[in-house]
Amino acid sequence: MKNPDKKLILSNGVKIPVLGFGTYKIEDDEIAVNSVREAIKTGYRHIDTASFYKNEENVGNGIREGLKLTGLERKDIFVTTKVWNTEQGYENTLHAFENSLKRLNMDYVDMYLIHWPVTKDYADTWQSRIKETWKAMEKLYKEGKIKAIGVSNFLVHHLEELMSDCEIKPMVDQIEFHPGHNQKETVEFCKKHGIVVEAWSPLGRGVILENEFLSEMAQKYNKTIAQICLRWIIQQEVVALPKSVTPERIKSNFEVFNFEKLVEKIVKNSQKILKKYGVNTSLFIDFSGNMYGDKKKIYQMFIQILRNSINAILTRNKLDKKINIVVVGDKNHRIILEIIDNGVGMTQEEVKAVMRPYSDTKGNSIMGTGLITIYKIVKEHNGLMTISSELDVGTKIRIIFNEYREEINQ
């Protein structure tokens, strides 16, 4: 299985999940452990912390609990931490990094960032300080203790200063970025120089959640404002770092899911009812990519199709009861789902009738009003659905969704 979220490719070839879990202001106790564990359980594969957050130890504990719970390995999780202002300078940075490693209880981190370029105490010396800090990070990178190095809160002039005297240019700039603060100049500079942008506070520190326009958008598309914001950020090819300590909010922020895993789960959960009616199923999957959408509704859609197929098979009352499920991807990056049964089938007239949006055709059509739900969910996800059927032979439902691309070159 591929990681259940889209990734960007950094300038050195390292892949970074586009949706991360931020841990700022999550207390260094069981709250941090539980939040990170829940995030990994939900599907996050990117965890962001910092020395300044003072929660690295329990973030590390939460990661280990999440790995144990999901059966994943350390290499499956992208971990970021940062060097704080008072820790900057060549020797200080080397020492600070080792302390972060100990607190996280890890052999390496995936990314290390300079947290801020300038503070009041070093307003006159920030240029030399960030360059010394960067040279220490370059050393750690060459030693393999860090997979990628970058900066945080750097504006264009900060980046230009650092890049004027560095061997390895920054791979990431983590900045405040959301629909109310798009930092256009910095983002354009980063994209021009192959620097991936990360968004801290992607929900505008909560203020954006009161935006009237976004509220209307959320109501229109039956989403939360947080989901609208995160979707907008991801569409800009920016890494989003939402944070929450509430399991339900953690789950609602994450809507990129692995289609293969979902299908396998549905088939597994349906075995009891299928066996009850003596229905044999075959499952063929040649696709391991991702989809962006409402996972619960896709689950609901799939279950309704299976119910329809079971009803059709029982109506025919045939000894050999079969449902074949096929999931493949095509060269156009689409997910093709086919569910084929050997039930009672339909005439061509019935097929045409049930394919009319919101049709409530009954009679010999075992699809009935259940198809309305299926059709509506497919349309909500910009999908296509076709039905081919033959009376006394069976029915094939074919649904096509767009794949949520995992990798985008920067």
pLDDT at 407: 37
Taking the domain 259-409, which CATH number applies?
Answer: 3.30.565.10
Q: Which of 44, 53, 292, 375 is catalytic?
A: 53
Cα angle 330, 335, 336; round to 5: 85
- Per-residue pLDDT tens listing for the chain (410 residues): 233 357 899 999 999 998 899 999 887 788 899 999 989 988 889 999 999 999 999 999 999 999 999 899 999 999 999 999 999 999 999 999 999 999 999 999 999 999 999 877 778 889 999 999 999 999 999 999 999 999 999 999 999 999 999 999 999 999 999 888 889 999 999 999 999 999 988 877 666 767 777 778 777 766 777 777 887 888 788 998 887 656 656 666 655 567 788 888 888 888 888 988 899 999 888 887 778 777 888 888 999 999 889 989 988 777 789 999 999 988 888 899 999 999 999 888 888 777 665 433 434 433 344 677 888 888 877 789 999 999 989 999 999 998 865 333 33
The pTM assigned to this predicted structure is: 0.63
Residue 234 has what pLDDT?
82
Token pair in block for residue 106 = 């890890």
Q: Is 286 exposed, middle or buried (0-12, 13-18, 19+ CB in 10 A)?
A: exposed
Model pLDDT, residue 216: 80
Size (the chain), residues? 410
Q: Return the pLDDT at 253.
A: 60
Looking at residue 289, what DSSP letter applies?
-
Instruction: List all residues 6 or more positions away from 277 whose beta carbon is below 8 Å from its beta carbon.
Output: 310, 313, 314, 321
| Partners of 409 in beta bridges | 9
Q: What is the DSSP letter of 19?
A: B
Per domain, the residue ranges of the chain are 7-254, 259-409
Q: Report pLDDT for 1.
A: 29
Fold annotation for 7-254: TIM Barrel (3.20.20)
Is 53 an active-site residue?
yes
Q: Which of 12, 57, 64, 15 is nearest to 41 (CA)?
A: 64
Look at residues 164, 98, 101, 106 and name the one whose alpha carbon lies nearest to residue 136: 98
Q: Alpha carbon of 235 to those of 180, 187, 254, 292, 298: distances in Å?
A: 15, 14, 14, 12, 22
- Beta-carbon contacts of 220 under 8 Å, excluding residues fewer than 6 positions away, are none
